[in-house]
């Protein structure tokens, strides 16, 4: 795999005439974003409403960083990942309600049959790298839920600290390169699809839906990550790596300079 883990701007509204300060560009604001410092620690939550042997085993390693917004955002992303394991899409995006929903799902499973074991979940968080305002986060998941066991499932998210939001790859692509970037990605997808079993090829979508997909950046380019069975049930993991030239071609110039120069 090409992806190598080296170590697994706020726009002011003021104009000169309004408040005596010059208007900042995104690039100028990004320069002021501080480098994150982080410390690994167990996440704070309680496993409630269960009995000793019936309680699910839950271990979550989180990060306490120097950026309060990022800490809250990380908590939300952890909640999204855990909720996706039990299809709990109506639970508040914070850790304790998410854990409560997970415990309830485990309890329901155990009540179905006396021999059913409680759920198990392990989630760890890793700040992969930061390039000015862009922070690449990876969440690694291991679970045992009923008959389904998942090992080392990875989720990638990119946060923009200056705009205080998660960004997806299309947000950073030049308008004139939107169609071209799709052509590139579909070509990679078709090459991957040809390597899949015939049954997968028949049931897989003709076009890859990628605009909301997990993405990452490494030392030379950007890529997309699809977990096993995410594209279609039974399919292998799909990782698409754009070359350095392709990456430079499609990204907005200021984004490319931030990530790779």
Q: How far is the first Cα of the chain from the last one, in angstroms, to the nearest whole number?
A: 22
- Angle at 133 (CA atoms; ends 138, 162), nearest 5 degrees: 115
Decide if pLDDT at 10 tops 80: no
Q: Are the C-beta atoms of 162 and 33 separated by less than 8 Å? A: yes
Q: What is the DSSP letter of 177?
A: G
At 28, the pLDDT band (50, 70, 90 cuts) reads low
Q: Are the C-beta atoms of 172 and 255 separated by less than 8 Å? A: yes
At 49, the pLDDT band (50, 70, 90 cuts) reads confident
Tokens 């862009």 label which residue? Answer: 134
Structural domain boundaries in the chain = 9-167, 169-261
Sign (positive/negative) of CA torsion 174, 178, 184, 189? positive
Q: What is the pLDDT of residues 195-220, one digit of tens each?
A: 999 999 999 999 999 999 999 999 99
At residue 57, φ and ψ (nearest 5 deg) are -95, 115
Element (H or E) spanning 131, and its range? strand 120-131
Cα separation, 18 vs 236, in Å, equals 56
Cα separation, 187 vs 193, in Å, equals 10
Q: Work out the mean pLDDT of the chain and round it to a whole number.
A: 89
At residue 234, φ and ψ (nearest 5 deg) are 90, -5
pLDDT in the model for residue 19:
40
Decide if pLDDT at 4 tops 70: no
Q: What is the dihedral of CA 137, 151, 40, 99, to 10 degrees?
A: 90
Element (H or E) spanning 241, and its range? strand 238-241
pLDDT in the model for residue 17:
34
Q: What is the pLDDT of residues 91-114, one digit of tens each?
A: 899 999 999 999 999 999 998 998
* Mean pLDDT of the 216-232 span: 97
CB-CB neighbours of 60 under 10 Å? 19
CATH 3.90.640.20: does it fit domain 169-261?
Answer: yes
In 3D, which of 151, 37, 58 has the Cα closest to residue 100? 58
Decide if pLDDT at 32 tops 50: yes
Range with lowest mean pLDDT among 30-44, 46-60, 85-99, 188-202: 46-60
Residue 153 in 3-state DSSP?
strand
CATH 3.20.20.10: does it fit domain 9-167?
Answer: no
In 3D, which of 225, 224, 229, 227 has the Cα closest to residue 200? 229
């Amino acid at each position: 795999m090409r992806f190598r883990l080296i170590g697994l701007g706020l726009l002011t509204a003021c104009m000169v005439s309004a408040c005596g300060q010059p208007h900042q560009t995104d690039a100028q604001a990004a320069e002021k974003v501080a480098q994150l410092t982080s410390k690994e620690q167990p996440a704070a939550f309680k496993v409630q409403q269960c009995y000793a042997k019936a309680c699910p085993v839950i271990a979550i390693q989180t990060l306490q960083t120097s950026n309060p917004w990022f800490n809250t955002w990380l908590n939300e992303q952890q909640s999204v990942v855990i909720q996706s394991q039990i299809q709990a899409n109506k639970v508040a995006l914070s850790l304790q309600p998410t854990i409560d929903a997970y415990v309830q799902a485990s309890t329901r499973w155990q009540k179905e049959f006396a021999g059913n074991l409680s759920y198990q979940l392990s989630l760890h968080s890793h700040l992969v790298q930061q390039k000015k305002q862009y922070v690449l986060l990876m969440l690694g998941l291991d679970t045992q839920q009923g008959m389904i066991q998942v090992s080392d499932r990875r989720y990638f998210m990119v946060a923009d600290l200056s705009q205080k939001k998660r960004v997806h790859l299309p947000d950073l692509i030049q308008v004139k390169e939107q169609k071209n970037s799709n052509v590139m990605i579909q070509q990679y997808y078709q090459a991957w699809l040809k390597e899949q079993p015939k049954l997968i090829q028949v049931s897989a979508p003709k076009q890859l839906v990628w605009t909301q997909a997990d993405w990452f950046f490494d030392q030379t380019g950007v890529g997309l990550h699809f977990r096993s069975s995410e594209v279609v049930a039974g399919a292998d993991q799909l990782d698409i790596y754009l070359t350095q030239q392709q990456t430079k071609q499609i990204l907005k110039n200021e984004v490319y300079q931030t990530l790779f120069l």
